[in-house]
Structure 1
Amino acid sequence: MIRLYKILCVSYLIVTLTSCNFTENIDVHPDGSGNYSLEMDGAGLLAMAGDKLGNELGMKNNAKAIDSTFSFKEIFAAKKDSIAKLAPEQQEALKKLENFVMKIKMNPEAQQLLFSMNTPFKKVNDLGGLMESMSALKDLKGKSDKSTAMLSGLGMDNSKLSFSYNGKNFSRKAIVDKNALNTFASDSTGMAKMIFASSKYTLKYHFPKAVKSVSNPDALFSADRKTITVEYPFTEYTENPEKLNLDVVFE
């Protein structure tokens, strides 16, 4: 678990100290089940702190790459005593994350640094509340715990995200908490905005049917119209989550 926490702490640096590109993937199967993943490309950090990152992750001098995989269940098992002390609703929020698997790949020679979280789902609607559950991780142990702080930082406290799919329509909807959004804006420093200025947040959704129309005018289609991609500057997304709301109609 010590190595696991080292990876989490370094991942926290990836998310907070350098520009990253985020990709939210949803792959829907014909029966409505599928896979969800959130990927972060932190290759730019290698140019700044490649050796330090390698040392923090336990990379030996003769090692050329790191490829680690672990699950949220491991994290929760290590913190079961803390979880037992949480309120029932907090425990329920964390339970939604049990099936997530986290991966980190680092290859200095290839200038590759990838961090991802993946989970299967039985229904698209089940994805609702996942980002809020990320924020609930901060309740495991105070703000000084970098391992959970990294993960909770991936959550969105300023909005509630829901998804729906019935075979004819798909929607992604963020309902913004105006008070939380104002607090987020006031807490954001000029330096943070500068760091994330070159970062992007991308949606990449694949469906079993061809798409007839998408409400977002910035959406791009694959040749078979089964995959749509929407990209926004990361700062615009965090300050206005509604920008990535989508209503999709299938042929």
Structure 2
Amino acid sequence: MKLYKLLSFSFLIATLTSCTFTENIYINDNGTGKFSVDMDGSALMEMAGDQIGSQMGADAKKDVDTTFTFKQVFEEKKDSIAKLSAEAQKEIKKLENFVVNTKMNAEKKQFLMTLSSDFKNVNEMQDILQTLSTLQKLEGGAAPASPFGNGFGNNNSKLSYSYDGKKFTRKAVIDTQKKAEKAKDSAGDMSKMMFASSTYVVKYHFPKKIKKVSNPNALFSDDRKSITIQYPFTDYMENPDKLNFDVEFEK
């Protein structure tokens, strides 16, 4: 399956309902770690696998388990990228080392996709999800390039992470002007409807035991080094600051 066709298919999954998106962060003792976003569209495959299969044609009959980097995609689309502004090219380059893994099994009604990258410091991941929305500029925006759909990451906010060994912070600052502009766009209503039954989950794993979390809905692992918090996907899209929280660690 060609990379761009696979990305286009994943867009079809992502813009329909009943997906679960999970944002994972693993931080090691030295501050390095791994960032990933998982999309589970298996519920949709269960409901509409036959219709989706017809969209994929012969590829739907095959089990898919494939891994590639955005660097490969960018090589295929280098002519299109060269036409972008220097700023847009710089943004896209941030994704160069991200790895995309896709597993699809029509018989088992399974569709899983993971977008991941290692980091030297979690601060490097600032605005990384928003950068995904820059991909729609490829092909002049005529075809989706982001694995999770063009709307993913484009929630009118700037997201940052910080970790100093004593405290971890996830903070999204809303751009009120962009939010107001989006409110006037009828496409926003369509996006809201499509993602209404989807879920956004954060799972963060730390090298130290957690003392407290500012979000009262956080669930702790048995060793108190990991937390899981679940949100409606509409909160992620419309009120991203609701996903802000601080984590303090034991000494």
Same fold per TM (> 0.5)?
Answer: yes
1:216 equivalent in alignment to 2:215:
yes
Which amino acid in structure 2 is aligned with residue 184 of structure 1? K
* 1:17 alignment partner, SS class: coil
Partner of 1:18: 17
Gaps of 5+ in 1: none
Gaps of 5+ in 2: none
Task: Give percent identity, aligned residues only.
Answer: 51
1:85 equivalent in alignment to 2:72:
no
Q: TM-score, structure 1 length as denominator? A: 0.90
What are the equivalent positions in structure 2 for 1:16-165 lying under 5 Å apart? 16-54=15-53, 56=56, 58-59=58-59, 61=61, 63=62, 65-148=63-146, 151-165=149-163
| Runs (4+) off by over 6 Å | none
Partner of 1:237: 236
1:54 and 1:240 mapped to 2: Cα distance? 34
2:200 and 2:232 in contact (8 A); partners too = yes
1:200 and 1:231 in contact (8 A); partners too = yes
Partner of 2:166: 168
Task: Supply the RMSD in Å over aligned alpha carbons.
Answer: 2.1
Shift of 1:250: 0.7
Q: TM-score, structure 2 length as denominator? A: 0.90
Distance 1:149 1:111, change over 3 A: closer
Distance 1:149 1:220, change over 3 A: closer
Distance 1:82 1:97, change over 3 A: same
Shift of 1:44: 2.0
1:66 and 1:104 in contact (8 A); partners too = yes
Q: Report how many aligned residue pairs link the two structures.
A: 248
Which amino acid in structure 1 is aligned with residue 6 of structure 2? I
2:155 and 2:78 mapped to 1: Cα distance? 24
Range with bigger deviation, 120-129 or 39-48: 39-48
1:58 and 1:3 mapped to 2: Cα distance? 13
Which amino acid in structure 2 is aligned with residue 68 of structure 1? T
1:152 and 1:189 mapped to 2: Cα distance? 12
1:199 and 1:233 in contact (8 A); partners too = yes
